[in-house]
Amino acid sequence: MLKKLFPYTKGYRLLILGGILCSILESVFELLLPKAMSNIVDVGMANGDRNYILAMGLRMVLLALAALAGGIGAALFAARAGMGFGAQLRQAEYEQVQRFSFANIEHFSTASLITRLTNDVASMQVTLMMCMRIFVRAPVMLITALVMALTISLDLSQVFLVSIPLLGLGVILVITKVGPYFTALQKATDDVNLVVQEDLNAIRVVKSFVREDREREKFARRSEHLRDTAMRAFGFVVIFMPLVTLIMGGTIVAINWIGGHYVFNGLMLSGDLIAFFTYATEILTSLMMVSMVMMMLTRSIACAKRIVEVLDEKPEITDAAADNALTVENGSIRFDHVYFKYHPTAEAWNLDDVSLEIPSGATVGILGGTGSAKTTLVSLIPRLYEATEGTVSVGGYDVKDYTMEALRNGCAMVLQKNTLFSGTIAENLRWGRDDATDEELRQACAVACADEFIDKMPEGYNTRIERGGSNVSGGQKQRLCIARAILRRPKILILDDSTSAVDTATDARIRAGLRTTLPGATKLIIAQRITSVMDADLIIVMDDGRISAMGTHGELMERSQIYREVYQSQQEGVSIDG
Amino acid sequence: MAENNSSRPAERRGPRGHGYQRPQNLWGTVKRLLKYLTRFRLLLVFVLFCLLVSTLGSIATSYMLKPLINNYILPGDFAGLAKMLALMGAIFGLSALCSLVYARTMVRISQETVVVLRQDLFDKLQTLPIRYFDTHQSGDLMSRFTNDIDTVSELINNSLANILTSILTFFGTLIMMFVLNWRLTLITLFFLLLMGFVVKFVGGRSRTNFQAQQAALGSLNGYIEEMIEGQKVIKVFHHEDKAVEHFDHLNAAYRSAATRAQSYAGSMMPAMANLSRINYAATCCIGGLLALRGIFDVGTMGAYLLYVRQVSQPVAQISQQFNVLMAAMAGAERIFAVMDAQPETDDGSTVLVRVEKNGDVLTETDRRTGHWAWKRPDGTLVELRGDVRFRDVDFGYTDEKTVLHNVSLYAKPGQKIAFVGSTGAGKTTITNLINRFYDIQDGVITYDGIDVKEIRKESLRRSLGVVLQETNLFTGTIADNIRYGKLDATDEEVRAAAKLANADTFIRHLPQGYDTVITDNGGSLSQGERQLLAIARAAVSDPPVLILDEATSSIDTRTEKLIEEGMDSLMEGRTVFVIAHRLSTVRNARAILVLEQGRIIERGDHRQLIEQRGRYYQLYTGQAQLG
């Protein structure tokens, strides 16, 4: 795991090393102080040697200053290295996500990818910072303090034979027990949050049915459960500190008793006894620090695992077999016995033996019920997914022969669930083509019937779109997305139910516009409304992953029962808006 | 309206903590929060006592080193030493016990307080008007329950006791140091002053830099979220390189801001700790010199040095805990802001009651008779029939912009009234006025002859069944979700409602049938199936008046057929307001109202409207033209 993340420390390894060194120096210098103190007491004070005390005191101040420098150095190095490492890791992960295909993205889900890129990376950079400081410091302190204690008195150090295992036992007990408590706590918290989330989303339903009281009760139950779980979890955690106080106290009493005898019998000097107390406390605190670091590490290992999963994910679709020089020359499309399924383990095919041929420049309508694989079918054309079996060809070549850039330049798709990005309308449109002139933007918007509302906006094409396009209506968003795709001047244009929120008349105008502006481009239109596809050169009727029928409106009315049914059901009425 | 707050798994949280925040009205918030703690007054006194004992205990044990060395070890009085050590052990034990007791008590107090706070907040949310939810994002309200409540809980759980012990330890230790040796204490005071300066200087720097870091993190994470959410569009447009370019820029900006902030924040602890060590060194040196002049000794030195190590810890602690305190107060303030929001007002005094019907005579009853009546404040009963009228209604969501102009309409019991018009014409708005999600500015709406403002909202809404365009289901079984319409519905009633809504077939095909648990707003069901469940939910409540907002844009025609059939059987014998997206549902309506920009521009039944050759005719024949 850590080996996988190690490469991202590149460029910061010297800093890390320097930080660790500083940390070690701070700890060692710090622990030389008590011994120096005991020298002042046992030599300087005992002999009444003023100069010795002054010299030793000066030495102590210098040691403390050196420790100060080490401590601050470690902090500065840790900050720089931790943040640098985090930035590199985040970048690598982000670039990896950019290489992902649709299937890869779905494998993780959007929300999870965001967490892995934000919270998980943040947790890793904090971990590195803490590691450089505490994780190095704690064992160094433990060892140094132990060595110092042993040199002062081997016999007295036997006290640790009891107290260290005792403390260790306490630590292990707490760490092993605390996990389940906190898992339960997390679950109880999630339960409470779920009720709030659902209540907020469904507030109109709640109010309509006058179910406020029921929601209150539901919430109260979960909330009280959370309280009880939290009390158990935190109630357990707080045992730890008093336990440590107790062990520490016991150790000090024991040292006093045994050490007292040694001092009286002249086996030990009183200054050494005082220094020994200090070392004893340091040993026990550093042990606690080690255990705290362990707890933190287990948490960040979970984060590291999640990041490594992203880094290790194999981008499903690559340019490996592509010919760099190839571009899409015409818009002909061919499916040759294509089979496809989203999950390799699934039993049924999502696309089951699909073969079809579409000449360049044709307008093709695709109809079919929900789940009949209309979207799946068209997604294979710009290679958003890879056909499991069979080949998909565009412009006479297998889609795998094109680089993704070339293929997607030649083939624009307006997704069903489309997104705009924060920025001006013009900036969003230029996603279609970077160097489009203002005039070209206007033309594309005219075709997509987007000009009518853009012109009404106070700032026109410079109107800012909020994140996700939340400040434009569904129909406006769809029209902007269509304009964006038109700007690409594609050889193939795919509209996946892209006018569902646009009224019928506008829908018809958009289709007419496409015919005249992109006469040579192959146009694939997925629609619910039969009027949207009725005048197409070819209509494909999908049913359960197969092509049920193909032909013109007239032919299908004769041949296809599904088509007739859909036609008749819509003939009874016409949709007038979304 | 709620398009962009789609529910996300709990896994995702915003950047944790909001940096250093300051509450607006500190004392008001503190006082209000204290009210929640008053019922634990006695317990808190007890906690204070335990806390005092445990802190004094730990100060005392350090002091005991002086007599231990000077009076017992050096002279060799081992009987005395044993006694003294027994006392010391007892104090350690007592101290540990007390700190355990107060910590556990604080855990209890904190959880008991927070559970009340949380419930108050949730209860309050239930009383707020729809308008409030229009203007406040659900993510924002969510964070009151997550982040804000958490910080308050953390404060009571930990920080309060921490701050108190720190203050006690600081002053207690300082006093004992004076007692041991006032000259050396002056040196310590000098170092404490230095530390205070470090806290102020480094802490201040770290605060401003931290704000810059949070701002950079905000834009970086915002960008990541936006790009990942739009990842599929990036792919389709092959925009990956551009997306990386801008990311690199933000990532670098965050790195340098964070490095600066963390450098300051990280330097604080080592600076404090090592200043304390210099103090330790100076104490040893000067203590040694004082000993030569006979005003200091070994035992005092031992005890004093323990205090030197003890006294600096609270300084760092207090400044750290102070930030927690402020964050908690800011969080509490945000919680109280929700609690102070104006609740939905309800001055209605007419309520819905069950009645028994003998001829024309109505008598109130508790039995389930299937008959309902409005009981006016004077005790008279008016039978619930479902007669709804609008007279000259004006309405706007804000005062500046009127959305509905002068709308008048009536629906007699059992009639079906349809609204037709383009998006934004005001169809949904009209239905939102009937159940008083919003109150009208001008005009009157009556229900069975009673002004709806005189009807208690709860009663009014109980008499109306609603199927909203956006379907919201709850985590639970299918049966639970249907039963939401009528909590005491029997299994048969649930099944009958599902059958009526055409949902029974698909439900029985689910692995556990009616007991299938759905999560994530019915994520595993199709849009159409969710809609059918919503219809069943309205059906089981069996209301005399129905409001249906048909949503069919993303449903295929065959599923839609099912939904239509479900809706049709549900509509039978009821007063129905239907927002039609397809004219086929409308044709058999008693009256069709065509809306445009908040005005009714045409009304009549299908035949009349066709004959009028107006807007409706255009809409209707749009089909004929195209097909």
Higher per-residue confidence, B421 vs A96: A96
Tell me which chain A residue has its CA closest to the CA of residue B222: A467
pTM, 2 dp: 0.78
pLDDT of residue B7: 33
Of B38-52, B220-234, B317-331, the range with the highest mean pLDDT is: B38-52
CB contact under 8 A, B526 and A370: yes
Instruction: Provide the chain B residues 68-107 that lie in CB contact (below 8 A) with chain A.
Output: 68-69, 72-74, 76, 78, 81-82, 85, 88-89, 92-93, 95-97, 99-100, 103-104, 107
In a domain, A350, yes or no: no
In a domain, A160, yes or no: yes
d(CA A433, CA A428): 10
Using the predicted structure, report yes or no on whether residue A197 has a pLDDT greater than 60: yes
The DSSP bridge partners found for residue B407 are: B393
Query: Any idea where the domains of chain B sit in the sequence?
Result: 41-339, 348-384, 388-621
Using the predicted structure, report yes or no on whether residue B8 has a pLDDT greater than 80: no
CB pairs under 8 A between A and B: 478
Q: Which CATH class is domain B388-621?
A: alpha beta
Per-residue pLDDT tens over the stretch A339-392? 998 877 777 788 999 999 999 999 999 988 766 788 889 999 999 898 999 999
CB contacts, 8 Å: B234 with chain A: 98
Per-residue pLDDT tens over the stretch B488-500? 889 999 999 998 8
B149 CA: distance to closest CA in chain A (Å): 11
Instruction: Provide the chain B residues 426-445 that lie in CB contact (below 8 A) with chain A.
Output: 435, 437
CB contacts, 8 Å: A533 with chain B: none
Q: In the structure encoding, which two tokens stand for residue A47, read together? A: 């002999």
Confidence of residue B3 (pLDDT cuts 50, 70, 90): very low
Domains B41-339 and B388-621 alike in fold: no
Q: Does A412 touch chain B (CB under 8 A)?
A: yes
The boundaries of the domain holding residue A97 are 7-312
In a domain, A205, yes or no: yes
CB contact under 8 A, B277 and A111: no
Higher per-residue confidence, B503 vs A339: A339
Per-residue pLDDT tens over the stretch A230-266? 999 999 988 888 998 899 999 999 999 999 999 999 8
Per-residue pLDDT tens over the stretch B358-385? 877 888 887 777 788 899 888 888 888 8
pLDDT of residue B419: 87
CB contact under 8 A, A57 and B306: no
Share of chain A above pLDDT 90, in %: 46
Least confident of A486-500, B97-111, B447-461, B567-581: B567-581
In a domain, A126, yes or no: yes
Using the predicted structure, report yes or no on whether residue B288 has a pLDDT greater than 70: yes
Query: What ipTM score was computed for the predicted complex, to two decimals?
Result: 0.84
CB contact under 8 A, B238 and A404: yes
pLDDT of residue B1: 32
pLDDT of residue A577: 39
CB contacts, 8 Å: B142 with chain A: 193, 196-197, 200
pLDDT of residue B594: 86
Share of chain A above pLDDT 70, in %: 98
B64 DSSP assignment:
T
pLDDT of residue B571: 80
Considering only CB atoms, B423 lies closest to which of A199, A253, A475, namely A475
Q: Any idea what the CATH number is for the domain that residue A223 is in?
A: 1.20.1560.10
Q: In the structure encoding, which two tokens stand for residue A382, read together? A: 């710009």
Confidence of residue B6 (pLDDT cuts 50, 70, 90): very low
d(CA B417, CA A417): 33
Confidence of residue B623 (pLDDT cuts 50, 70, 90): very low
d(CA B258, CA A266): 56
d(CA B71, CA B77): 8
Confidence of residue A574 (pLDDT cuts 50, 70, 90): very low
Of A289-298, B170-179, B349-358, the range with the highest mean pLDDT is: B170-179
pLDDT of residue A221: 94
Mean pLDDT of A528-540: 86
Q: Is B183 exposed, middle or buried (0-12, 13-18, 19+ CB in 10 A)?
A: exposed
Tell me which chain B residue has its CA closest to the CA of residue A250: B89
Which backbone phi and psi does B405 adopt, to 5 degrees? -115, 120
- Beta carbons of A171 and A287 less than 8 angstroms apart: yes
Q: Does B543 touch chain A (CB under 8 A)?
A: no
CB contacts, 8 Å: A409 with chain B: 238
d(CA A127, CA A64): 27
In a domain, A113, yes or no: yes
Closest by CA position to B238, among listed A327, A473, A366, A314: A327
Least confident of A111-115, A308-312, A367-371, B80-84: A367-371
Considering only CB atoms, B247 lies closest to which of A80, A94, A573, namely A94
CB contacts, 8 Å: A118 with chain B: 15, 221, 224-225
Using the predicted structure, report yes or no on whether residue A495 has a pLDDT greater than 90: yes
Calculate the CA A218 to chain-centre distance: 32
Using the predicted structure, report yes or no on whether residue B204 has a pLDDT greater than 70: yes
Instruction: Provide the chain A residues 261-280 that lie in CB contact (below 8 A) with chain B.
Output: 261, 263-264, 270-271, 273-274, 277-278
Tell me which chain A residue has its CA closest to the CA of residue B521: A198
Q: Which CATH class is domain B41-339?
A: mainly alpha
Per-residue pLDDT tens over the stretch A41-78? 999 988 889 999 999 999 999 999 999 999 999 999 99
Tokens 């599902």: give the residue: B498
In a domain, A549, yes or no: no
Q: How many helices (H) and strands (E) does chain B have?
A: 21, 16
pLDDT of residue B566: 77
Per-residue pLDDT tens over the stretch A451-485? 988 988 888 999 988 877 777 877 888 899 999 99
d(CA B212, CA B261): 8
Confidence of residue A13 (pLDDT cuts 50, 70, 90): very high
In a domain, A243, yes or no: yes
Confidence of residue B5 (pLDDT cuts 50, 70, 90): very low
Using the predicted structure, report yes or no on whether residue B102 has a pLDDT greater than 90: yes
pLDDT of residue B423: 64
Q: % helix / strand / coil in chain B, to the nearest 5?
A: 60, 15, 25
d(CA A507, CA B626): 11
d(CA B443, CA B408): 9
pLDDT of residue A251: 93
Closest by CA position to A296, among listed A81, A112, A131: A131
Rg (C-alpha) for chain B, rounded Å, is: 36
Using the predicted structure, report yes or no on whether residue A553 has a pLDDT greater than 70: yes
The DSSP bridge partners found for residue B369 are: none
Per-residue pLDDT tens over the stretch B112-141? 999 999 999 999 999 898 888 888 877 788
Q: How far apart are the first and last CA of chain B?
A: 34
Please provide the DSSP assignment of A60-106 as one string.
HHHHHHHHHHHHHHHHHHHHHHHHHHHHHHHHHHHHHHHH--HHHHH
Using the predicted structure, report yes or no on whether residue B422 has a pLDDT greater than 80: no
Mean pLDDT of B28-41: 92
Mean pLDDT of chain A: 88
In a domain, A514, yes or no: no
The domain tally of chain A equals: 1
Q: Does A185 touch chain B (CB under 8 A)?
A: no
Mean pLDDT of A543-549: 88
Using the predicted structure, report yes or no on whether residue A576 has a pLDDT greater than 50: no
pLDDT of residue B171: 95
Mean pLDDT of A170-181: 84
The Cβ-side half-sphere exposure at A333, using a 13 Å CA radius, reads: 30
Considering only CB atoms, B228 lies closest to which of A99, A113, A432, namely A113
Least confident of A235-239, B119-123, B316-320, B479-483: B316-320
Confidence of residue B9 (pLDDT cuts 50, 70, 90): very low
The DSSP bridge partners found for residue A227 are: none
pLDDT of residue B463: 87
Q: Does A32 touch chain B (CB under 8 A)?
A: no
Share of chain B above pLDDT 70, in %: 92
